[in-house]
């Protein structure tokens, strides 16, 4: 019995611990077009614009949640209709299913998601022209589908398509009497474009959270942070130690251990705001570089993974740009080193563009000799570094 009890406590504690990694609450704001499905008197037709809604959503986990949805429609006659004006108000409590998480969209994208929602509530139709009906109260059932596009961890664009079914609607939307008030049918269809905003200190929407996989990512990144901190002094030794023949294999191994390679971990599935900052720091502080042989602009085979890492980071974060900065060692004339360093940066630029990164997001240039390196560490000077803007 004690084992069962402590097992339940541990499971519950684990659930709440992992729950702190994303924001349970979010706000959905949208608006767009409308179409009356039924209960419109012959000779009347409506303008398609005039609807909006706001929803407050709470996700129990990355798959299931509840939403309080508040909607408004303003109906006016179009140019081919007899005149009428009416206002429509709706409130419903809905269950939400994150189909993107259920169907594991993250195996092929970390930008696209899909929600579905269904619920019931109350609605009021208020006719103001041609006559005032004093308000027609009715029951309403809402069913919808919501494709998503993640802008970043906090903000998500969505397209919501939903159908509203009314029960006991006494009046038509134009003010005429509904001949079949007890029949249920699709009375109204709304299509909205809007923005979903994660509400909370984590700045991470639950819609694109990967559950247990995210814990693996966070643990992996934490391990990398610790490894970087422990290796700071060792890297400084590699940079400044006088040696007649630098241990190239040791240097490249140390560099390869300093970043997460796409495909070897789940970094690409979950990118939280803090993780993005950490990866950006790795790039900007020179832990991921591209290296070259003497007097060469051909990227070393061991450094191809560094180019791929920057490429993946740019794909995962389409609103950042990168500068490529080329260097040379102290051998050779200054003018030749300047040209060589520029050509090395251009080689990395060409590879990134060929792999699908827009040239408008990249800039490159050479600065000549890397004067921070000693003669015994020339291999570290023949490089291209990254600067994330």
Looking at residue 133, which CATH number applies to its domain?
Answer: 2.40.160.20
Residue 178's pLDDT is 83
Work out the widest C-alpha separation in the chain, in whole angstroms.
Answer: 96
Owning domain of residue 373: 216-388
The C-alpha atoms of residue 107 and residue 103 are separated, in whole angstroms, by 9
Residues 77 and 112 in one domain: yes
For 81, the 3-state DSSP assignment is coil
Residue 179's pLDDT is 79
Residues 97 and 54 in one domain: yes
For 45, the 3-state DSSP assignment is coil
Residues 81 and 169 in one domain: yes
Tally the domains of the chain: 2
Domain boundary residue, one of 161, 185, 206: 206
Residues 156 and 55 in one domain: yes
The C-alpha atoms of residue 317 and residue 379 are separated, in whole angstroms, by 31
Helices 304-316 and 273-284: angle between axes, nearest 10 degrees? 140
Looking at residue 308, which CATH number applies to its domain?
Answer: 3.30.1330.60
214 DSSP 8-state letter: H
Residue 237's pLDDT is 55
For 110, the 3-state DSSP assignment is coil
Residues listed for the chain: 389
Residue 70's pLDDT is 97
Tell me, yes or no, whether 7 lies in a domain. Answer: no
Residues 92 and 156 in one domain: yes
The C-alpha atoms of residue 294 and residue 288 are separated, in whole angstroms, by 20
Residue 229's pLDDT is 57
For 135, the 3-state DSSP assignment is coil
For 235, the 3-state DSSP assignment is helix
The tens place of each residue's pLDDT in the chain, 389 residues long, gives 444 444 444 444 444 444 457 899 999 999 999 999 888 888 899 999 999 999 999 999 989 999 999 999 999 999 889 999 999 999 999 999 999 999 989 878 889 999 999 999 999 999 999 888 888 999 999 999 999 999 998 999 999 999 999 998 889 999 888 877 666 677 899 999 999 999 988 888 889 886 544 444 455 555 555 655 555 555 555 555 444 444 444 444 444 444 333 343 333 333 444 467 777 888 888 888 999 988 899 998 888 888 888 888 888 888 899 999 999 988 888 899 999 999 999 999 999 998 889 999 999 999 998 877 766 677 888 999 999 98
Residues 152 and 30 in one domain: yes
Tell me, yes or no, whether 282 lies in a domain. Answer: yes
The C-alpha atoms of residue 317 and residue 37 are separated, in whole angstroms, by 41
Tell me, yes or no, whether 3 lies in a domain. Answer: no
The C-alpha atoms of residue 149 and residue 15 are separated, in whole angstroms, by 27
The C-alpha atoms of residue 377 and residue 380 are separated, in whole angstroms, by 6
Tell me, yes or no, whether 9 lies in a domain. Answer: no
Residues 201 and 227 in one domain: no
Residues 171 and 85 in one domain: yes
């Amino acid at each position: 019995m004690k084992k069962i009890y402590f097992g339940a406590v541990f499971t519950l504690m684990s659930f709440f611990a992992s729950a702190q990694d994303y924001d349970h609450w979010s706000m959905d704001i949208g608006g767009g077009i409308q179409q009356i499905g039924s209960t419109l008197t012959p000779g009347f037709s409506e303008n398609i614009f005039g609807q909006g809604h706001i929803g407050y959503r709470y996700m129990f986990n990355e798959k299931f949640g509840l939403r309080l949805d508040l909607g408004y429609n303003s109906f006016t006659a179009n140019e081919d209709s007899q005149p009428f004006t009416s206002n429509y108000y709706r409130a419903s409590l809905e269950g939400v299913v994150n189909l993107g998480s259920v169907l594991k969209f993250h195996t092929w994208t970390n930008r696209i998601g899909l929600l579905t929602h269904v619920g019931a509530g109350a609605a009021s139709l208020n006719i103001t022209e041609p006559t005032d009906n004093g308000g027609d109260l009715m029951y309403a059932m809402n069913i919808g589908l919501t494709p998503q596009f993640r802008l970043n961890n906090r903000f998500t664009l969505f397209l919501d398509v939903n159908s509203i079914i009314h029960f006991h609607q006494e009046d038509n939307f134009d003010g005429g009497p509904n001949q079949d008030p007890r029949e249920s049918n699709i009375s109204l269809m709304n299509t909205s474009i809007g923005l979903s905003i994660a509400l909370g200190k984590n700045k991470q929407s639950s819609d694109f959270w990967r559950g247990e996989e995210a814990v693996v990512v966070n643990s992996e990144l934490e391990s990398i942070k610790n490894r970087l901190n422990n290796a700071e002094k060792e890297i400084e030794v590699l940079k400044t130690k006088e040696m007649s023949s630098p241990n190239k294999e040791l240097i490249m191994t140390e560099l390869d251990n300093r970043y997460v390679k796409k495909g070897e971990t789940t970094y690409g599935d979950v990118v939280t705001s803090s993780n993005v900052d950490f990866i950006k720091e790795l790039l900007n502080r020179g832990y991921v570089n591209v290296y070259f042989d003497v007097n060469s602009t051909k990227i070393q085979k061991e450094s191809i993974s560094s180019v791929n890492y920057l490429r993946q980071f740019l794909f995962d974060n389409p609103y950042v740009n990168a500068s490529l900065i080329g260097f040379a060692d102290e051998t050779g004339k200054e003018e030749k080193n300047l040209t060589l360093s520029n050509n090395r940066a251009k080689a990395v630029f060409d590879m990134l563009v060929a792999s699908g990164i827009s040239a408008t997001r990249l800039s490159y240039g050479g600065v000549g000799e890397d004067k921070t390196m000693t003669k015994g560490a020339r291999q570290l000077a023949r490089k291209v570094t990254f600067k994330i803007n």
